């Protein structure tokens, strides 16, 4: 709605003092206000918000990104999450990208063979759930179909949307 857009613009201006926001400030916003905690995911969210990749989040990018982030349709959120997980922007989430993402939130496991076995098992599990055409990587169509049939898979590679309790307080 117009009121929601105006509220996001006001939020942007309060945070920036009517200047442009850099990604370090956006990272702080994502962490402090929306309680995202995974550094890799926060960095990826900033990159997805920063449409022109200039290292700054303009007012338009902020409003556009937060609109999807907070109130997007299922389709918009699927597209957004997929973009966050597609680290290199090749329209595929590779086994390596899945592995990198899973490593970023597997903690308290000693390194060594056991650690690598656990990561491999997790990667294999994610691929079994998301890679519908079994080509060893996850396309947007694979991801969207999987999430539509099982919505809990939307953030299987990590939280990149705010907790619902944060959005509706």
Q: Is the pLDDT of residue 165 over 80?
A: no
Q: Looking at the domain 73-169, which fold is it? A: Recoverin; domain 1 (1.10.238)
Neighbours of 21 (CB within 10 A): 22
Architecture of the domain made up of 1-71:
Orthogonal Bundle (1.10)
pLDDT tens track for 87-141: 999 999 999 999 999 887 776 667 777 888 888 999 999 999 999 999 999 999 9
Asked, colleague to colleague, whether 1-71 and 73-169 share their fold, the answer is yes
Q: Which pLDDT belongs to residue 169?
A: 45
From residue 46, give the alpha-carbon distance in Å to each of 40, 49, 86, 122, 135. Answer: 10, 5, 13, 26, 29
**β-bridge pairing 21-22 and 56-57:** antiparallel
Domain ranges of the chain: 1-71, 73-169
């Amino acid at each position: 709605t117009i009121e929601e857009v105006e509220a996001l613009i006001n939020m942007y201006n309060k945070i920036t003092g009517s200047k442009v926001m850099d990604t370090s400030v956006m990272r702080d916003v994502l962490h402090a206000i929306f309680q995202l905690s995974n550094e890799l995911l926060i960095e990826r969210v900033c990159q997805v918000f920063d449409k022109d990749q200039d290292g700054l989040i303009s007012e338009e990018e902020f409003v556009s990104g937060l609109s999807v982030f907070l109130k997007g349709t299922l389709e918009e959120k699927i597209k957004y999450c997929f973009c966050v997980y597609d680290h290199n922007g090749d329209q595929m989430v590779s086994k390596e990208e899945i592995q990198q993402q899973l490593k970023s939130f597997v903690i308290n496991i000693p390194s060594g063979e056991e650690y690598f076995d656990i990561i491999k098992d997790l990667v294999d599990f994610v691929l079994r759930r998301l890679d519908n055409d079994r080509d060893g990587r996850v396309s947007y169509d694979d991801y969207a179909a999987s999430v539509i049939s099982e919505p809990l898979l939307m953030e299987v590679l990590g939280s990149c949307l705010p907790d619902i309790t944060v959005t509706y307080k």
